[in-house]
Homo-oligomer: A and B are copies of this chain.
Amino acid sequence: MNQHRVRQGVESSVRVLARQYSNTQCFTPVAICLRGFFRLTLIPMSKKPIFIYDTTLRDGSQGEGVSFSLNDKLQIALRLAETGIDFIEGGYPLSNEKDEAFFKQIREHDLGGSQICAFGMTRRRSMKAQDDPGMKALVAAKSPGITVVGKTWDFHATEVLGVSLEENLAMIGESVEFLAENAHVIYDAEHFFDGFRANPEYAIKTLRAAAAGGAKVMALCDTNGGSLPEQIAAITTKAMEGLQDYPGVSFGIHCHNDGELAVANSLAAVDVGVTQVQGTINGIGERCGNADLISVIGNLGLKKEGYSVLGGEGLSHLTELSRFVYETANLQWRNGQAFVGQSAFAHKGGMHVHAINKASKTYEHIDPSLVGNERRILVSELSGRSNIIAVADKHSIQDDKEVQSKILAEVVRLENQGFQFENAGGSFDLLIKRVVGSFTPHFSPLKYRVVAGETSADERDVYSEAILKIRIGDQDVFNAAEGHGPVNALDTALREVLLPFYPQLRDMHLVDYKVRVVDNGAGTAAGTRVNIESGDKEETWGTIGVSDNIIEASFQALLDSVEYKLHKDNVTPAT
């Protein structure tokens, strides 16, 4: 192992940890030598450290709809390192040039105490390890860690690979032995739990082959994701018993979520002595995904007693990390995701909101700020007055039950048309103002038209234009604009018309634009709900429009976003 790199790792660990713990008194930095890695960590004497192994960039990228560019991978690796993730599996260097380039470029970055691992399979049959292209690619990745996966299940060796049980053991042992000369080797025992159930004796032999070859960690994989917590605990215990004569070997767990038990299974393995948990951020991965490390870290760090993860401090970055990975993978957030979801601390039921206003522990299992998340109070027909009051207290209607009833009735009426105000705080604010009578329009749309088309089939000459007429004070203003798509053209035309009257709009920009088909059954004639998020230097706000016509729905949301901005800045309407 490259001594210079090890020293660099220790030095950067010291910097990162010293920064993290400069304000705490109850921890002392301790340099420990962890199975070949020098690593500095700070843990209370009473807590057992559990090491987090992230495979978002390898197993996560197998998820449906997931596709990372090289830059995506580098950015995610850096973010994982910042959060304090112990091991970062970067990819499968043999599989494609992108992964090969990743290992080269990541070496240029300071990853603090985090260690990069390259992933690959055991050598092919009837070939020396040093001649195998996969083995060579793993060594060429020059990562401090190498994770090599081998077959546990006798059926997989004989039926899928087509090798004898003896040859499979040789493939495992020789591959690990060759790689262990170059790096810290983690052995991923594929299908360990299914394999153990089918042939326990052979399953243990495969681990022993890896241990004899010099692997430092046995990561037991529930590859098909169908095991139950009690099975994980019992079989992991048997595996540990089978390797008692290798005291330097520790154990890891790698779960998939096909039974919605990946997190519970990971925790069950930790309870019987596993010290490394493998998984992905947000649980992305093939089929039902991997164990979600967000939940694993949340439960180990905040709920279960006796364990420490990420040195404690990294937990408050979990929400930010989760959303960064969703955005980079271009996946939709899962609102109901444990710990970090947008709805994880959102309260809708009136009774709950009433109680939360008295004491947060009434309906929150943890303080949302511990994981970097925040509380939200939602507006809906079910919510009753408590929610209306919680959201609307800035309108001074806390005590006006008649106005509250009118607002509630208007919310119900619009919800029946397909509106949802949960992500449209700007439109809800304007709704209250309209009911209360404090809404003063800054302009009135008179008519608009958008035109979009393609003038020539050969050239893909696509164009979009918008034309509109707006009354501002006593003037009727007419304007037209081109844009990237019809909604952008409409937005541009509207801004150009309003700017001379309301220069404040220069600060405002669009943050996000989302389209949802409200009635999936009706094809292109279905209703559409458009949500627009806008922002200025101070805040962001959501607005909504609903119509059969996507252009009309977008226009409604655009109008609300501008009116919200002008109202919040207390701009006097032009006359």
Contacts and interface: CB of A to CB of B under 8 A. Distances in A.
Interface of A: 61-65, 67, 69, 95-96, 121, 155-156, 159-160, 223-226, 228-230, 257-261, 263-264, 267-268, 271, 283-284, 286-289, 292, 295, 298-299, 303-304, 327, 330, 332, 334-339, 341-349, 351-352, 354-355, 358-359, 361-366, 378, 380-382, 415-416, 420, 422, 444-457, 462, 464, 467, 483-488, 491, 509-521, 523-526, 528, 532, 547-552, 554-555
Given A263-B260, A524-B554, A64 B453 contact: no
19 contacts: A64-B343, A64-B346, A64-B378, A229-B229, A229-B267, A286-B352, A287-B347, A288-B344, A327-B520, A445-B457, A453-B551, A462-B548, A464-B551, A488-B525, A491-B523, A491-B524, A510-B524, A511-B523, A512-B517
Contacts of A257: 336, 338
Contact of A295 (B259, B295, B349, B450): B259
Interface centre among A267, A361, A509 (most CB of B within 10 A): A361
Contacts of A230: 271
A226 to B, nearest CB: 3
B299 A348 contact: no
B303 A344 contact: no
A60 B546 CA distance: 24
Given A449-B452, A486-B551, A510-B523, 8 more contacts: A64-B335, A156-B355, A225-B365, A226-B366, A446-B457, A452-B549, A452-B551, A484-B525
Nearest to A283: B336
B288 A341 contact: yes
B286 A348 contact: yes
Given A365-B258, A484-B548, A488-B524, A450 B453 contact: yes
A344 B287 contact: yes
A334 B282 CA distance: 13
A462 B258 CA distance: 47
Contact of A464 (B268, B298, B380, B549): B549
Nearest to A330: B518
Nearest to A415: B67
A488 B332 CA distance: 26
A485 B550 contact: yes
Contacts of A549: 452, 462, 464, 484-486
Contact of A261 (B264, B346, B358): B264
Contacts of A464: 549, 551
Contacts of A485: 524-525, 528, 547-552
Contacts of A62: 348-349, 352, 382
Given A95-B382, A336-B289, A517-B515, A462 B552 contact: yes
A240 to B, nearest CB: 20
B449 A224 contact: no
A514 B513 contact: no
Nearest to A289: B336
Contact of A447 (B96, B341, B455, B515): B455
Given A226-B366, A264-B261, A454 B462 contact: no
Contacts of A467: 453
A525 B483 contact: yes
B160 A358 contact: yes
B452 A447 contact: no
Nearest to A485: B549
A260 B341 CA distance: 11
A514 B332 CA distance: 14
A365 B224 contact: yes
Contacts of A455: 447
Contact of A449 (B330, B451, B512): B451
Interface centre among A264, A352, A450, A526 (most CB of B within 10 A): A264
Given A61-B382, A228-B299, A523-B510, A345 B287 contact: yes
Interface centre among A327, A416, A450 (most CB of B within 10 A): A450
A453 B448 contact: yes
B67 A338 contact: no
A298 B259 contact: yes
Nearest to A364: B224
A382 B95 CA distance: 8
Interface centre among A510, A547, A551 (most CB of B within 10 A): A551
A156 B351 CA distance: 12
Contacts of A525: 483-485, 488
Given A303-B259, A513-B517, A160 B264 contact: no
A486 B550 contact: yes
A348 B292 CA distance: 19
Nearest to A514: B517
Interface centre among A299, A344, A453 (most CB of B within 10 A): A453
A453 B462 contact: no
Contacts of A547: 462, 485
A353 to B, nearest CB: 11
A76 to B, nearest CB: 16
A422 B63 CA distance: 11
A514 B339 CA distance: 29
